[in-house]
Structure 1
Amino acid sequence: MAQEIERKFHVTSDDWRALADAGTRIRQFYLASREGLTVRVRRREGRPAVLTLKTGSGLSRGEFEYDIPDADADALEAAHLGTVIEKRRHLVPLGSLTIEVDVFAGPFAPLVTAEIELPAADHAVTLPSWIGREVTDDPRYGNGAMALAGAPPPA
């Protein structure tokens, strides 16, 4: 089983921008979202659409990803739940790791979050000063939960 080990945080300043790439536009929508399971389709600039299934919750989750034809993504979008999420993802190097900074648009603006994928759950990481409160274990900050709510959670 594919496993994703990831921590998520609020971003408290724009200091990350000097270190980041130009970013990639992401549009994603959800087909199913309940405790322990999300099914989404994600579209990124210049890449094939991806169908993703995530299982579990919190720091370590199952993650299964499959490229799908754009025509299939178009057809599936008609059945999406809640609000489509649009954001720009910027990559910021952090030693051997990469921080993904998501700048949300539309009804989710001005939310900015950072995610760090780790090689192991106990992997130590020194966080930059612009990283704020950790929200890894707060289910309201899952993109599927936000899509169903139609807005970001209160700060």
Structure 2
Amino acid sequence: MEFQRKFLVNQVPDLSNYSNQYITQGYISTDPIIRIRQVDDQYFVAMKSFGHLVREKFRMPINKEQFESLEKKIESHFIRKSRYFIPIGDGLTAKLDIYEEYLDGLLTIEVNFESRTQAEHFSAPEWFGPDITHDSRYRNNNLAKFGIPE
């Protein structure tokens, strides 16, 4: 089970002190949601249930050859982004995504929680922007299909 909230960004902090990863991901299917993802030199396939704040998620590692075979089945654009991991207190980490290519200019933040209650009672730092957890247009599978929402 995944408990997650998603936000836009008001102000980008100095990122020089935070670890980051480069992510490439695509969607084999958006109904059901089946995603392949490359994170640096690691590869995964994942299935996610529909939902917003709470979703089922299954992720499995695959190898580069399997990834390359599956990428031929992508239904829409690949998403390419840099993800920064920013500790925000209480054992939580903000995952700041800076998108590239056709999504250039979009920045989002995801925070994962241990429970629905913890997610619902979270107070975002000032540098976070509007809460888009329940706005389906900002889900990565929809960004891959439709681009940045207007």
How would you bin the TM-score normalised by the shorter chain?
over 0.9
- What secondary structure, in the 3-state scheme, does the structure 1 residue paired with 2:78 have? strand
Distance in 2 of aligned mates of 1:19 and 1:7: 24
After superposition, the Cα gap between the structure-2 partners of 1:98 and 1:19, relative to the gap in structure 1 and judged at 3 Å, is: farther
Identity %: 26
Task: Establish whether residue 17 from structure 1 lines up as the match of residue 14 from structure 2.
Answer: yes
Q: Distance in 2 between matches of 1:99 and 1:9?
A: 10
Cα distance in 1, alignment partners of residues 17 and 83 from structure 2: 10
Structure 1 length-normalised TM: 0.90
What letter corresponds to residue 4 of structure 1 in structure 2? E
Q: Equivalent residue of 2:14, what SS?
A: helix
Q: Within 5 A, what are the aligned runs for 1:1-155?
A: 3-14=1-12, 16-18=13-15, 21-34=18-31, 37-46=32-41, 48-95=42-89, 96-123=91-118, 124-149=121-146, 151-154=147-150
How many residues are paired up? 147
Q: Secondary structure at the match of 2:116?
A: coil
DSSP-derived class of the 1:81 partner: coil
Give, in whole Å, the separation in 1 of the partners of 2:110 and 2:16: 15
Q: Which amino acid aligns with 1:31?
A: I
CA distance in 1, matches of 2:40, 2:6: 23
Q: 1:127 to 1:19 in 2, by over 3 A?
A: farther
Contact 1:83 1:148 in 2 (8 A): yes
Unmatched 5+ residue regions in structure 1? none
Runs of 4+ with >2 A deviation: 16-20
Q: List gaps (5 residues or longer) in structure 2.
A: none
- Aligned-pair RMSD on alpha carbons? 1.3
Indicate if the aligned counterparts of 2:48 and 2:58 stay in contact, CA closer than 8 A.
yes
CA displacement at 1:132 relative to structure 2: 0.9
Name the SS for the 1:27 alignment partner: strand
What TM-score comes out, normalization by structure 2 length?
A: 0.93
Query: 1:13-69, CA deviations, whole angstroms, 9 ceiling, x for partnerless residues?
Result: 12x2357514211000100003xx3100000113x2000100021100000000011
